[in-house]
Amino acid sequence: MRAVTFQAPGEVRVDEKPDPTLGAADDALVRVEASGICGSDLHIFHGRVPVERGFTIGHEFVGTVLDAGADVERVAVGDRVLGCFHTACATCVACMRGDYHRCERGRTFGHGSKLGDLQGAQAELLLVPRANLTLRRVPAGMSDEVALFAGDVMGTGYHAVAHAGMRSGDSVAVLGLGPVGLCAVQAALAGGATKVFAIDSVDQRLAMAADFGAVPVHLTEEEPKRAVRAATEGRGVDVAVDAVGDPGPLEMAISLARDAGTVSGIGAYAGRGEVLLGLAWLKGLTLRLGLANVIAHVDRVLALIEAGKLDPSPLVTHHMKLDEAADAYALYDKREALKIVLTP
């Protein structure tokens, strides 16, 4: 089979690899019909997240089950399925709590030996462990490119507001309108947020957020804090989401949240960072951080997409062939695409 492999920082290529085969009784083999390129794939592309040379990358996928072990009960051969970006065991202490994203035996597709040694989804075939938990049937009538958001980007946007405890009637600010931020905007609106402020410096992204029903706020041409305060009687928002993952936007989220509000950091933070901790304390903020628990959300997210309350389709800006992966990564790296969908 053909697979997109990491070679060196800045270099991926399509390699011929042996077809994967079932190992455990709860494994499934999936023929990948669409896969996405994600912001976290760029960290691998640049070598910031180390994966072995020749490792197959990618973790967003939709396809058809070709084979399944004896313990796979929730999907069957021939089913059209989507995957979550990681696996979980369902039996460890974290899984028993429902914290699948912190599974002690969790494995992330396409992230090298450090994150579970699980080959990635930008390939013609994919071995899916723990298939009962990792895979879902694609609802009839849902396109591949929409379904592949449920197990990653939309699940993450949904988590950003759900994990913050956002309630119907709340006001929300989302900082950073990449795919996750735009999905968080949709999830906030779908969850009944009355005002969603969408903050970025890229005009097209602001326009898309406005199309979804948000109030666009330009990061540098406007003053986000002033704009948000003016529209919330000086109080700030109930929930402020940092969808960037840097101290700067986190600090802005702290400043935009109302007293006793919640800041939700869904972007991937790395290392140390300085924020106005005293302000967060003084305001009595709740801080929610971390990777999204997509396995816990995927059924709700699929239901909301099916009901038309969430619609990731405007985020798909490019369709390319698996064989064009090197060009696709170069394009994505230039930030000219929101979501590139690869098909075999």
Alpha carbon distance 179, 232 (integer Å): 26
- Residue 239 touching Zn ion (CB under 5 A): no
- Residue 4 touching Zn ion (CB under 5 A): no
Q: Among 148-156, 194-202, 210-218, 259-267, which window interacts with Zn ion (CB under 5 A)? A: 148-156
Q: Which lies closer to Zn ion via its Cβ, residue 88 or residue 177?
A: 88
Contact 153, 339 (CB under 8 A): yes
Q: Which lies closer to Zn ion via its Cβ, residue 130 or residue 283?
A: 130
- Residue 174 touching Zn ion (CB under 5 A): no
Site string for Zn ion, 59-88 (x = CB under 5 A): -----------------------------x
Q: Looking at 103, 266, 285, 296, which residue binds Zn ion (CB under 5 A)?
A: 103
Binding footprint of Zn ion, residue count (CB under 5 A) = 7
| Count of C-beta atoms within a 10 Å radius of residue 254 | 24
What residue number has its CB nearest to Zn ion? Answer: 38
- Residue 26 touching Zn ion (CB under 5 A): no
Site string for Zn ion, 108-147 (x = CB under 5 A): ----------------------------------------
- Residue 27 touching Zn ion (CB under 5 A): no
| Count of C-beta atoms within a 10 Å radius of residue 203 | 11
Q: Which lies closer to Zn ion via its Cβ, residue 152 or residue 170?
A: 152
DSSP assignments along 150-219, one per residue: TTTHHHHHHHHHHTTT--TT-EEEEE--SHHHHHHHHHHHHTT-SEEEEEES-HHHHHHHHHHT-EEEET
Q: Which lies closer to Zn ion via its Cβ, residue 37 or residue 209?
A: 37
Site string for Zn ion, 281-320 (x = CB under 5 A): ----------------------------------------
- Residue 276 touching Zn ion (CB under 5 A): no
- Residue 238 touching Zn ion (CB under 5 A): no
Structure tokens at 207: 């326009």
Minimum distance from residue 59 beta carbon to Zn ion (Å): 5
Structure tokens at 184: 């968080």
**Residue type present at position 51:** V
Alpha carbon distance 232, 142 (integer Å): 38
The helix-helix angle for 224-231 and 247-256 (nearest 10°) equals 20
- Residue 89 touching Zn ion (CB under 5 A): yes
For residue 323, give every residue at least 6 positions away whose Cβ sits within 8 Å of its Cβ, in sequence order, or none.
2, 14
Listed in order, strand segments (DSSP E) in the chain are 2-8, 11-16, 28-37, 60-68, 80-83, 86-87, 107-108, 125-128, 135-137, 171-175, 195-200, 215-218, 237-242, 257-265, 286-289, 316-321, 339-343
- Residue 95 touching Zn ion (CB under 5 A): yes
Q: Among 124-132, 149-157, 229-237, 279-287, which window interacts with Zn ion (CB under 5 A)? A: 149-157
Strand partners, 265: 242, 289
Contact 132, 299 (CB under 8 A): no
- Residue 240 touching Zn ion (CB under 5 A): no
Q: Which lies closer to Zn ion via its Cβ, residue 66 or residue 92?
A: 92
- Residue 44 touching Zn ion (CB under 5 A): no
- Residue 42 touching Zn ion (CB under 5 A): no
Contact 246, 253 (CB under 8 A): no
Chain residues that interact with Zn ion, rule: CB under 5 A: 38, 88-89, 92, 95, 103, 152
